[in-house]
Amino acid sequence: DQVEKGGFEHFMLKEIHEQPLTLRKTMLDRINKENDVVFEGLDLTPADFDKIYIIGCGTAYHAGLIGKNVIEKLTRIPVEVDIASEFRYRDPIVNDKSLVIVVSQSGETADTLAALQESHRRGAKVLAITNVPSSTIARDADYVVPTMAGPEIAVASTKAYTAQLITFYLLGIYLAQEKGTLDDLYRVSLVQALKELPMQVENILDDAYELKLFAQSIKNKKNLFFIGRGLDFAVALEGSLKLKEISYIHSEAYAAGELKHGSLALVEEGTPIIALITQQDLYEKTVSNIKEVKARGADVMGITLEVNVDLFNVVDEVCFIPKTNALFTPILSVVPLQLISYYTSLALGNDIDKPRNLAKSVTVE
């Protein structure tokens, strides 16, 4: 067991640390010398579909929320994201002009497979993003884009999520390229920023001391909030899921601007809040939401870009992430959230790799 864990105490920590490598592997052969994104055998013509659906469960669904943002921004094709168990029963408007992207680490999740089959019945083409190319979902899909995360053992998904994200980035750039709407200089800058991500994740992993201390400070709390806007909100959802799964502490992710419509009532003296604030165009907006919770006594940990040193004036603690293209911050900002969950669960003495009531792969409805 110790050998399999490569010297790490748990598979989850090992898998968190494997992310620089799995990002590199997932990008390998997808970028040519001219900095074009290539997908051999993927003969997708964006003009053939007028809408994209992204479907998954759990962490895969959260990756889809980022995927929507990226694909819409780069291609201007409308994208809807659905939880597989909702999609399959809601009579979705899917037809032969739709591209359905199913996302599944295992490739065996029953609801995601059923959503794929429902999409086929309605005439759509289905592309699977999966970590297991021999899986049922990969076999049934029309196109398969494998994530190269390697076997993921811990129930709480980490490296599969970031591999799914980088796949969405590549796919978004590819679709925009094929559509002919992507400016060459912009494409090159995007691809160069992608290539820097593995090293940037390494830098975050090398400096986890503050996150361990933060984990100690929240381990006995009953309730916690994650807030953010835009892409930061999508990452907040994933951070909250990670914490729930392995620490059993209740948490909620909220769109920062929506707090005052309800959840602000739950904020009191000492409520911990993790605020993601990586989107520079929304920075001031989120700062004003942070001030609202600070005024009610919350303890706020901010996760932001290194350039935003002035965030120290507003929050109690700051975790800095390196600068990248605004679309790509989720790959960096999720890493401290994974580590916070891990160290909180470790401090509580929980069974980190096999949390109670949960399974790695849900093959029944």
Piece of the chain touching ligand G6P by CB under 6 A; list 34-42, 67-75, 210-218, 354-362:
354-362
187 vs 193: CA distance, rounded Å: 10
Shortest distance (Å) from residue 267 CB to ligand G6P: 29
* Residue carrying the six token digits 């659905």: 82
What does the angle CA 258 – CA 264 – CA 269 come to, to the nearest 5 degrees?
150
Per DSSP, 256 falls in state G
Instruction: Rank residues 56 and 272 by Cβ distance to ligand G6P and give the closer one.
Output: 56
| 358 contacts ligand G6P (rule: CB under 6 A) | yes
Angle at 69 (CA atoms; ends 339, 328), nearest 5 degrees: 45
The smaller minimum CB distance to ligand G6P, of residues 157 and 289, is found at 157
d(CA 358, CA 338): 17
Q: Does 278 bind ligand G6P (CB under 6 A)?
A: no
360 assigned to active site: yes
Q: Does 345 bind ligand G6P (CB under 6 A)?
A: no
CB neighbour list of residue 161: distance below 8 Å, 6 or more residues apart: 59, 60, 62, 63, 238, 334
The contact pattern for ligand G6P, residues 100-139, with x = CB under 6 A and - = no contact, is ----xxx--x--x---------------------------
Per the CB < 8 A criterion, the answer to whether 97 and 125 are in contact is no
Count of CB atoms situated within 10 Å of the CB of 86: 14
Residues 141-180 that bind ligand G6P (CB under 6 A): 155, 157
Distance between CA atoms of residues 91 and 105, nearest Å:
25
Among 58, 64, 146, 302, binds ligand G6P (CB under 6 A): 58
Tell me the window of 52-60, 89-97, 166-174, 192-200 that interacts with ligand G6P (CB under 6 A): 52-60
Q: Say whether residue 280 binds ligand G6P (CB under 6 A).
A: no
Of 251 and 271, which has the nearer Cβ to ligand G6P? 251
The one catalytic residue among 179, 212, 285, 360: 360
Give the shortest CB-99-to-ligand G6P separation in angstroms: 19
- Cα 119 to Cα 131: distance, rounded to the nearest angstrom: 21
Instruction: Find where tokens 């970031």 sit.
Output: 162
CB of 32 to ligand G6P, least distance (A): 29
> Shortest Cβ distance from residue 282 to ligand G6P (Å)?
27
Residue nearest to ligand G6P (CB): 58
**Token pair in block for residue 349:** 């003495």
Q: Which of 293, 245, 240, 306 is nearest to 266 (CA)?
A: 293
Angle (deg, nearest 10), helices 159-179 and 19-27: 30
Q: What is the distance between the alpha carbons of residues 179 and 38, in angstroms, rounded to a whole number?
A: 14
The nearest distance, CB 356 to ligand G6P, in angstroms, is 12
> In 10 A of CB 229, how many CB atoms?
23
69 binds ligand G6P (CB under 6 A): no
Among 22, 26, 59, 240, binds ligand G6P (CB under 6 A): 59
Per DSSP, 166 falls in state H
Q: Which of 12, 13, 52, 60 binds ligand G6P (CB under 6 A)?
A: 60
User: Considering the rule CB under 6 A, would residue 240 count as an interface residue with ligand G6P?
Assistant: no
What distances in angstroms separate CA 30 from CA 49, 71, 170, 173, 268, one per listed residue?
23, 17, 8, 11, 48
Please choose, out of 86-94, 174-182, 276-284, 355-363, the segment that lies near ligand G6P by the rule CB under 6 A.
Answer: 355-363
Nearer to ligand G6P, 25 or 159 (CB): 159
Q: With both helix axes pointing from N to C terminus, report the angle between 58-75 and 159-179 in degrees, rounded to the nearest 10.
A: 20
Which residues make up the interface to ligand G6P (CB under 6 A)?
Answer: 57-60, 104-106, 109, 112, 155, 157, 358, 360-362
Residues marked active site are found at: 360
